[in-house]
């Protein structure tokens, strides 16, 4: 057994449930913090456990280059290497590779390391092999992620290559305890999205990622393309919207039937002094917060909000105290997790429309 989805509640197209893997069970909808190089920036694995996260994403591209997949495998795989007892999902590295402008052919991609300029080759087969060495619970196929906007011929080639590479990834997959997800591409074209989903589902994966969205397009462009893909995905396996983590984007996607999300947004915002709150995003560096004795968010029960004031945390930012990055990252991830739990509860109580409207009043 590599993966099983059990739905416990639905509200319209929205779903709540659990995913069980060879490692254990976690709840959906689920937000996964991004531990790019085997760590979520400014936080430890113990922090993530305390916060209550059940799944963390790790980046294949970075780990295959530093320290190397062989090193990670030799130290007990990604779980032993990072001392993380929860689930790990690894991306294929394709998004990072394609952001570097690699040489692409039908067989794979050739790219240079962002660390030392050395030349590397990634194919659908080697992406599977590297992720098997890393030992993640869920791995992703290598896909072609075109920039947006792209001309129709570029999107067409991306869809065709992604499907062909997915077929090769399935043939290369060797570890039955490791789930393998296919990826749907197609830009913001609903017709291409639908086609990509149909062709990928025909191959038969443990779950499906929707890639190539939230890369600069508006939400009004994203949602029809997402809905077109979701309409063709089977209801009994997980649906994962890759790289989306803004509050309203996640809520809208959950309402359409998405189960999993990952994004660097909460921790990246924190490192720039921006915090997520019940009244919207606040930039803590603003002078208005000097001397402010209130918490980051009066509605938040995280230990940062219960103990420290906006004025003090702003002071730490202004003087460059590195510990404040951990505190703000803690709050933003705690707030994001609470949002997901609120939405999950709304699905279980058949109250998603009301909760969705309340969130939209702040974040639309």
Query: Could you tell me which of 113, 116, 118 has the C-alpha nearest to residue 97?
Result: 113
pLDDT score, position 93: 84
Domains within the chain, CATH numbers bracketed: 3-263 (3.20.20.105), 264-364 (no CATH)
CB 354 within 8 A of CB 346: yes
Angle at 353 between CA 348 and CA 355, to 5 degrees: 75
The tens-digit pLDDT sequence of the chain (364 residues) is 589 999 999 999 999 999 999 999 999 999 999 999 999 999 999 999 999 999 999 999 999 999 999 999 999 999 999 999 999 999 998 888 888 889 999 999 999 999 999 999 999 999 999 999 999 999 999 999 998 999 999 999 999 999 999 999 999 999 999 999 999 999 999 999 999 999 999 999 999 999 999 888 999 999 999 999 999 999 999 999 999 999 999 999 999 999 999 999 999 999 999 999 999 999 999 999 999 999 999 999 999 999 999 999 999 999 999 999 999 999 999 999 999 999 999 999 999 999 999 999 999 8
Active site residue 91: yes
Q: What is the pLDDT of residues 248-307, one digit of tens each?
A: 999 999 999 999 999 999 999 999 999 999 999 999 999 999 999 999 999 999 999 999
- Please list the helix, strand and coil fractions of the chain in percent, rounded to the nearest 5, in that order: 45, 20, 35
The structure's pTM equals 0.97
The Cα–Cα gap between 185 and 226 comes to 10
Q: 189, 259, 262, 297: which is the annotated catalytic residue?
A: 262
Three-state DSSP string of 6-32: EEEEEECCEEEEEEEECCCEEEECEEE
Q: 91, 137, 143, 246: which is the annotated catalytic residue?
A: 91
Contacts of 357 (CB under 8 A, 6+ apart): none
* Longest Cα–Cα distance in the chain: 61
Active site residue 105: no
CB 197 within 8 A of CB 229: yes
Question: Which residue's structure tokens are 């001397």?
Answer: 291
């Amino acid at each position: 057994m590599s993966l099983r989805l059990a739905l416990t509640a639905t509200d319209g197209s929205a779903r709540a449930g659990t995913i069980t893997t060879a490692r254990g069970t976690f709840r959906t909808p689920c937000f996964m913090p991004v531990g790019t190089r085997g760590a979520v920036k400014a936080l430890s694995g113990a922090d993530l456990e305390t916060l209550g996260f059940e799944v963390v994403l790790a980046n294949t591209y970075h780990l295959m280059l530093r320290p190397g997949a062989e090193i990670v495998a030799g130290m007990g795989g990604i779980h032993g290497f990072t001392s993380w007892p929860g689930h790990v999902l690894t991306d294929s590295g394709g998004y990072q590779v394609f952001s570097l402008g690699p040489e692409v052919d039908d067989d794979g991609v050739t790219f240079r390391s962002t660390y030392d300029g050395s030349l590397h080759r990634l194919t659908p087969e080697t992406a599977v092999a590297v992720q098997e060495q890393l030992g993640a619970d869920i791995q992703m196929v290598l896909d072609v992620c075109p920039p947006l906007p792209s001309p129709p011929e570029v999107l067409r080639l991306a869809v065709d290559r992604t499907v062909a590479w997915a077929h090769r990834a399935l043939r290369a997959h060797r570890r039955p305890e490791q789930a393998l997800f296919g990826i749907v591409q197609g830009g913001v074209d609903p017709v291409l999205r639908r086609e990509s989903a149909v062709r990928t589902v025909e191959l038969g994966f443990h779950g499906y990622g929707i890639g190539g969205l939230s890369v600069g397009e508006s939400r009004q462009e994203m949602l029809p393309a997402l809905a077109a893909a979701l309409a063709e995905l089977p209801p009994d396996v997980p649906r994962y919207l890759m790289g989306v983590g803004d509050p309203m984007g996640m809520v809208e996607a959950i309402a359409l039937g998405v189960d999993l999300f990952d994004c660097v947004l909460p921790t990246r915002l924190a490192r720039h002094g921006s915090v997520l709150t019940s009244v919207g995003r606040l930039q803590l560096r603003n002078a208005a917060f000097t001397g402010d004795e209130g918490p980051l968010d009066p509605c938040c029960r995280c230990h940062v909000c219960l103990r420290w004031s906006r004025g003090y945390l702003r002071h730490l930012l202004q003087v460059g105290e590195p510990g404040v990055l951990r505190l703000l990252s803690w709050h933003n991830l705690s707030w994001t997790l609470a949002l997901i739990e609120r939405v999950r509860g709304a699905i279980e109580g058949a109250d998603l429309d009301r909760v969705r409207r309340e969130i939209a009043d702040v974040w639309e």
